[in-house]
Amino acid sequence: MALLLCLVSLTAALAHGCLHCHSNFSKKFSFYRHHVNFKSWWVGDIPVSGALLTDWNDDTMKELHLAIPAKITREKLDQVATAVYQMMDQLYQGKMYFPGYFPNELRNIFREQVHLIQNAIIESRIDCQHRCGIFQYETISCNNCTDSHVTCFGYNCESSAQWKSAVQGLLNYINNWHKQDTSMRPRSSAFFWPGTHTATPAFLVSPALRCLEPPHLANLTLEDAAECLKQH
């Protein structure tokens, strides 16, 4: 059993997941991993719990299932981490558990954590899209914990003048995007608007962009918006 716990500790902390990017993660999870054996008196629970804690980050990335990149703001990561550590600390305050109880509770906390992360990522994205025009916010990439940002196209404009300027901003953004190292980007997003940096395309004067109209805006991503403009 000592050997098992030892192996569990050795393989820990290699994987990346959103929570991994929080500054207290190593300290907290190293404590959780090392104290599993004092909590469960059923021997089978120890390796199962150890594996859950070791695979926590990998499993998080597998369970997120997001159509948008896993990038979370620092503030929301801190909120999720606080909630998860609170649930874990509470679980670890119990003295002894019936067979199966401890790993089961770990699984519940894990699932709750995945929901919290999903909601945090989606909420920021929706907030961003509820603005008007191109907007960026700072995030951390859950894959490798590096600073990154998310750019979105907000469609919540209040006047046609604002809307025009928002769409113009989108065109400028897409053109700049195109001019950056073309080889680095996926093919699907590589397209060019002839002459947009010298003249305003005619459609902007009387916009009839079906794909940018309300029923389609619920899920609009920058990529979709670009695709939509490309077709006009």
Ligand X SMILES: *[C@@H]1O[C@H](CO)[C@@H](O)[C@H](O)[C@H]1NC(C)=O
At its nearest, how many Å lie between ligand X and the CB of residue 170?
A: 18
User: To 10 degrees, what angle do helices 74-93 and 101-129 make?
Assistant: 160
207 lines the binding site for ligand X (CB under 6 A): no
82 lines the binding site for ligand X (CB under 6 A): yes
90 lines the binding site for ligand X (CB under 6 A): no
Q: Which is nearer to ligand X, 40 or 124 (CB)?
A: 124
> Which residue among 110, 141, 163, 226 contacts ligand X (CB under 6 A)?
141
Q: How far is Cα 65 from Cα 80, in angstroms, rounded to an integer?
A: 18
Stretch that binds ligand X, among 112-120, 174-182, 193-201, 216-224 (CB under 6 A): 216-224
6 lines the binding site for ligand X (CB under 6 A): no
Nearest to 101 by CA among 151, 154, 36: 36
Residues 15-34 that bind ligand X (CB under 6 A): 24
Torsions phi, psi for 198 (to 5 deg): -115, -30
215 lines the binding site for ligand X (CB under 6 A): yes
Give the β-pairing of 132-141 and 147-155: antiparallel
156 lines the binding site for ligand X (CB under 6 A): no
E strands along 131-180, which residues?
Answer: 132-141, 147-155
81 lines the binding site for ligand X (CB under 6 A): yes
54 lines the binding site for ligand X (CB under 6 A): no
At its nearest, how many Å lie between ligand X and the CB of residue 105?
A: 19
Q: How far is Cα 189 from Cα 193, in angstroms, rounded to an integer?
A: 12
Q: How far is Cα 46 from Cα 75, in angstroms, rounded to an integer?
A: 34
Residues touching ligand X, count (CB under 6 A): 14
Retrieve residue 48's tokens.
């199962």
Nearest to 170 by CA among 187, 157, 188, 185: 157
Question: Facing residues of 150 across strands?
Answer: 137
Stretch that binds ligand X, among 34-42, 99-107, 142-150, 161-169 (CB under 6 A): 142-150
At its nearest, how many Å lie between ligand X and the CB of residue 222?
A: 15
216 lines the binding site for ligand X (CB under 6 A): yes
At its nearest, how many Å lie between ligand X and the CB of residue 149?
A: 11
Annotate 33-57 with three-state secondary structure. HHCHHHCECCCCHHHHHHHHHHCHH
214 lines the binding site for ligand X (CB under 6 A): no
